[in-house]
Amino acid sequence: MTPQKLWISFYTMMRKDIVRMFRIWVQTFLPSVITSVLYFLVFGTILGSQIGDIQGVRYMEFVVPGLVMLAIVTSSYANTSFTFFSSKFFARSIDEILVSPTPPWLLIAGFAGGGVARGVIVGVLVLIVSLFFTGLSISIHSALIILSFAILTAVVFSLAGLVNGIYAKSIDGINIVPTFVLTPLIYLGGIFYSVSSLPDWWQTITYANPLFYLINGFRYGFLGITDISLGISISVLLALVAILIALNWYLIRKGLGLKQ
């Protein structure tokens, strides 16, 4: 395929997904915003007044990066997994892509791109909502780190959602991973607490959670504080991107879950 045709293929997949998510914005954007408002009210306003400061930062400001990251993770994952699954079993549009000369890497980019777009948009919306709970102000230590972690995290979980979408045989297969795998990892990744406040044995378990490194790197971009080296967080993030790209490429190249 020529570069122009590659671009047309990528643009078509992206445009279709973005138009869809804005058409049903009540399902794609609103739930994450409402959930975040409830988190800010319960954990930030009510419990935060009892907890006080963490690492010299007001508790409300401490949880903002984690809740924004929560919205990015869940939205990007859900978007790609459901979009790919529906293209297999409902619209059957994946068949048209597979018989076309579209290379596997472009198929991955097209589907993951929609998840990245939704994840970043929802993250921005949640960040805007957080301003009303932090007195219309929030610290920004490094805008570059914030943007990098937001986009790369959306990439990671869009790719993870694509793996789920490829393997899923029913709608239950789409829901089981977020419920029993993703949700525990998110809540035990340090959104609402600092790992330094945990017992040694629980800290060891937390260090095995990849979400911990992503949340801490993102929080460093806002507040300049972290429980782990920023270099380690970036390394974990880049390693996840590389592993998931390779896994998705292999699955699509072999046609696993697609051609049987």
Q: Rounded CA gap, 185 and 166, in Å?
A: 22
pLDDT at 63 over 70: yes
Write the single-letter amino acid at 30: L
Collapse the DSSP code of 131 into the 3-class scheme (helix H, G, I; strand E, B; otherwise coil) and give the result.
helix
Q: Rounded CA gap, 172 and 155, in Å?
A: 23
pLDDT at 195 over 80: yes
SS3 content of the chain, % helix, strand, coil (to 5): 80, 0, 20
Collapse the DSSP code of 57 into the 3-class scheme (helix H, G, I; strand E, B; otherwise coil) and give the result.
strand
Joined together, the tokens standing for residue 18 give 């973005």
> Interhelix angle for 59-89 vs 30-39, to 10°?
150
Task: Give the total residue count for the chain.
Answer: 260
Q: Rounded CA gap, 201 and 170, in Å?
A: 38
pLDDT at 113 over 90: yes
What are 33-54's pLDDT values in tens digits? Answer: 999 888 888 876 666 667 777 7
| CB burial of residue 49 (10 Å; 0-12, 13-18, 19+) | exposed
pLDDT at 260 over 60: no
Where b means 16+ CB within 10 Å and e means fewer, 22-39 reads eeeeeebbeebeeebbeb
Residue 236 vs residues 42, 152, 162: alpha-carbon distances, Å: 31, 11, 19
Joined together, the tokens standing for residue 147 give 């943007």
**Residue 228 phi, psi dihedral angles, 5° rounding:** -145, 160
- pLDDT on residue 220: 93
Q: What is the mean pLDDT of the chain?
A: 87
Range in 40-49, 78-87, 102-111, 235-244 the model is least confident about: 40-49
pTM summary value: 0.91
